[in-house]
C-alpha cells in the first residue's frame, strides 16, 4: 500500500513538471523563431537605411554643385 502512495505522489509531481518542461520547450522554439524574424527585418531595414543615406549624400552633392554655379 505504501508503494502505491509513493507512486501516486511521484506521479502527481512528475506529470505537471513534464507538462511545464514541454511548454517551456515550445515557448523557446517560438522565441527563437521570433528572433529570426526580427533579425531578418533588422537586416532589411539596415539595407534600406544604407540606401537612403547614400541617396541623401548624392542629393546633397548635387545640391551643393548646383548652388555653387549660381
Whether pLDDT at 7 is above 80: yes
This prediction's pTM:
0.64
Whose cell is 549624400? That residue is 57
pLDDT digits (tens, 9 = 90+) for 32-67: 999 999 999 999 999 999 999 999 999 999 999 988
Give the pLDDT score at 10.
Answer: 93
Whether pLDDT at 69 is above 90: no
**Dihedral Cα 13, 14, 16, 21, nearest 10 deg:** 140
- Domains of the chain by residue range: 23-70
Amino acid at each position: 500500500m505504501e508503494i502505491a502512495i509513493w507512486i501516486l505522489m511521484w506521479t502527481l509531481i512528475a506529470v505537471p513538471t513534464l507538462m511545464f518542461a514541454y511548454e517551456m520547450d515550445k515557448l523557446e522554439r517560438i522565441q527563437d523563431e521570433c528572433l529570426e524574424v526580427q533579425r531578418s527585418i533588422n537586416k532589411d531595414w539596415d539595407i534600406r537605411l544604407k540606401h537612403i543615406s547614400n541617396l541623401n549624400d548624392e542629393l546633397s552633392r548635387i545640391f551643393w554643385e548646383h548652388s555653387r554655379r549660381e
